[in-house]
Amino acid sequence: MDSSAAIEVRGLTKRYGSRAVLDGVDFSVAPGEILGYIGPNGAGKSTTVRALLGLLPDFEGAATVAGLDPRRAALEIKRRVGYVAENALLYESLTVAEHLLFVGRMHELDEPLIERRACACLEALELLDRLDTRIASLSKGMRQKVLLTAALLHAPPVLLLDEPMSGLDVHSQILVKELVRQLALSGRAVLFSSHVMDVVERLCTRVAILKDGRVAAYGTFEELSASQAHGTLEGVFASVTGVRDAQARAAAVVEALAR
The answer to whether residue 149 sits within a structural domain is no
The answer to whether residue 122 sits within a structural domain is no
Categorize the per-residue pLDDT at 1 as very low, low, confident or very high, splitting at 50, 70 and 90. low
The answer to whether residue 146 sits within a structural domain is no
Rounded Cα distance, 39 and 115, in Å: 37
Region 111-123: mean pLDDT is 97
- Chain mean position to CA 234: 18
Q: Whose CA is closest to 162, among 90, 53, 86, 88?
A: 86
Handedness of CA 221, 226, 227, 233 (dihedral sign): positive
Q: What letter does residue 209 receive in the DSSP assignment?
A: E
The answer to whether residue 98 sits within a structural domain is no
Q: Are strands 158-162 and 81-84 parallel, antiparallel or unpaired?
A: parallel
The answer to whether residue 109 sits within a structural domain is no
- Domains in the chain: how many in total? 1
Region 63-82: mean pLDDT is 96
Rounded Cα distance, 28 and 208, in Å: 10
User: Which whole-number Å values give the CA distances from 165 to 24, 80, 85, 96, 199, in the listed order?
Assistant: 29, 22, 10, 19, 10
Q: Is the pLDDT of residue 88 over 80?
A: no
Give phi and psi for 11, each to the nearest 5.
65, 30
The answer to whether residue 227 sits within a structural domain is yes
The answer to whether residue 119 sits within a structural domain is no
Rounded Cα distance, 95 and 118, in Å: 13
Q: Residue 75 is part of a domain; what is its CATH number?
A: 3.40.50.300
The answer to whether residue 123 sits within a structural domain is no
- What's residue 3's pLDDT? 64
pTM for the complete prediction?
A: 0.91
Rounded Cα distance, 239 and 47, in Å: 23
Categorize the per-residue pLDDT at 239 as very low, low, confident or very high, splitting at 50, 70 and 90. confident
- What's residue 2's pLDDT? 62
- What's residue 171's pLDDT? 92
Residues 6 or more apart in contact with residue 105 via CB below 8 angstroms: 111, 114
The dihedral over CA atoms of 81, 87, 93, 95, expressed in degrees to the nearest 10, equals 60
Residues 6 or more apart in contact with residue 253 via CB below 8 angstroms: none
pLDDT, the chain, mean:
92
Q: Are strands 60-65 and 7-16 parallel, antiparallel or unpaired?
A: antiparallel
Domain boundaries, position 230 = 7-88+157-257
- What's residue 71's pLDDT? 95
Partner residues linked to 81 by β-bridges: 158
What 3-state class would DSSP assign to 210? strand
Q: Is the pLDDT of residue 189 over 90?
A: yes
Q: Is the pLDDT of residue 230 over 80?
A: no
